[in-house]
Homo-oligomer: A and B are copies of this chain.
């Protein structure tokens, strides 16, 4: 039926059509109408058809508050970002929303802004709305205190994780990601690898640095110098590259803790006349296309597959809602995206 028709009908009623309206129009009782529309009970096909017709006629949409009231289920989940919504949240939310939408669930968005008060306020709101489950996300992979204890609905932490190991968390396998980056460099024959990354207080920076060191150690190799902790910025990348070039140790590859840092490094190397990837191979982390593609040359990087992570978290939540919780930390694998900054130089003649 056309939107116009729906509108006319609704205006005649001056309110959304209810199942009683449908029943009346079809000449049956509400009970019958309900069964007809939900394919339950045993009804004459004729009756069923008549009811469906009436429903279409009126543009009937079941009132979900009523549905909720007797089923107890709302088919909604809350998504709380504990710190401000940021760049990482986009693919994450997309994945969550996608997986839940497919399960016919709607998502409440709650931005707690790093404020514990707001966080608790949202939690109460969500519980009062009787959401079927809650997803907690954050801007960092740091573990955080559980958002509540013994909550009446399942909770899944995505990207961020809970300090309680019994909670269900889905986090990127940053260790695995870093190892893939190093593996790749080793396969290219690079053995003198430096590591420039973000602040040491950041969980991600530490984990990635540790994994890098450990992977090299497995090959009997050491990092060129110590991991260089600084900031997640291009400026730090440039500065650190300068320091590195000023030091006596030679290096043939730099693995960076973020794409921004890597891009700063690329700029500094180029300014100093060092060629990427010929003299120095360069790998970033995050696979943030804005950076990787603008970098000269295009940057090889580790992708945390956040959309997939979001989908996984959502699916774990759905199964938990259906009574099969999967407690513990779940690792979401990272993927290495190879680009020109580590391309093997080809001799054309």
Instruction: Find residues 103-150 in chain A having any chain B CB closer than 8 Å to their own CB.
Output: 106-111, 124-125, 127-130, 148-150
* Residues on B with beta carbons closer than 8 Å to the beta carbon of A260: 290, 294
Q: Which residues of B contact A84 (CB under 8 A)?
A: 94
Binds B, one of A2-10, A179-187, A276-284, A338-346: A2-10
Least CB distance from A181 to B in Å reads 22
- A200 an interface residue at 8 Å Cβ cutoff? no
State A49–B223 Cα separation when bound (angstroms): 67
B294–A128 contact, CB under 8 A?
no
Is the beta-carbon distance between B64 and A10 smaller than 8 angstroms? no
Complex: chain B residue closest to A70, CB-CB? B65
Binary interface encoding of chain A residues 248-270 relative to chain B, with 1 for a CB under 8 A from any of its CBs, else 0: 00000000000010011000000
In the complex, how many angstroms separate the beta carbon of A101 from the nearest chain B beta carbon? 8
Stretch from A85-93, A188-196, A329-337 at the B interface: A85-93
Given A130-B16, A290-B290, A90–B86 Cβ distance below 8 Å? yes
Per the bound structure, the CA–CA distance linking A344 and B127 in Å amounts to: 56
- B68, B98, B108, B150: the one contacting A108 at CB < 8 Å is B108
A163 touches B (CB below 8 Å): no
Cβ of B234 and Cβ of A64 under 8 Å apart? no
Within 8 A of B (CB), among A1-23: 3-4, 7, 10, 16
Measured in the bound complex, the distance between the Cα atoms of B65 and A125 in whole Å is 13
> Given A89-B90, A90-B89, A149-B3, are A64 and B129 also a contact pair (CB < 8 Å)?
yes
Evaluate contact between A97 and B110: CB separation under 8 angstroms. yes
Contacts of A107 in B (CB 8 A): 108-109
The reply on A74 being an interface residue by CB < 8 A is yes
Answer yes or no: A62 CB below 8 A from chain B CBs. yes
**B109 near A97: Cβ-Cβ < 8 Å:** yes
Q: Which chain B residues border A66 with CB–CB below 8 Å?
A: 65, 69
List the B side residues contacting A7 at CB < 8 Å: 149-150
**Complex-state Cα separation, A299 to B234, whole angstroms:** 14
- Bound-complex Cα distance A97 to B109 (A): 8
Question: Which of A62, A84, A89, A290 has the most chain B CB atoms inside 10 A of its CB?
Answer: A290
Task: Find residues 174-228 in chain A having any chain B CB closer than 8 Å to their own CB.
Answer: none
* Interface hub of A64, A74, A98 (most chain B Cβ within 10 A): A64
Binary B-proximity of A287-299 (CB < 8 A = 1, otherwise 0): 0001001100000
B69, B87, B109, B148: which contacts A109 (Cβ < 8 A)? B109
Contact of A106 among B63, B108, B290 (CB under 8 A): B108
Chain B residues with CB under 8 A of A97: 109-111
A-B contact list, 5 entries, CB within 8 Å = A7-B150, A61-B128, A79-B109, A97-B109, A260-B290
Extra A-B contacts (11), CB below 8 Å, given A87-B87, A233-B294: A3-B149, A4-B149, A61-B128, A64-B130, A65-B66, A66-B69, A79-B109, A87-B90, A97-B111, A108-B108, A290-B290
Q: Which residues of A contact B (CB under 8 A)?
A: 3-4, 7, 10, 16, 61-66, 68-69, 74, 76, 79, 84-87, 89-90, 93-94, 97-98, 101, 106-111, 124-125, 127-130, 148-150, 152, 233-235, 260, 263-264, 290, 293-294
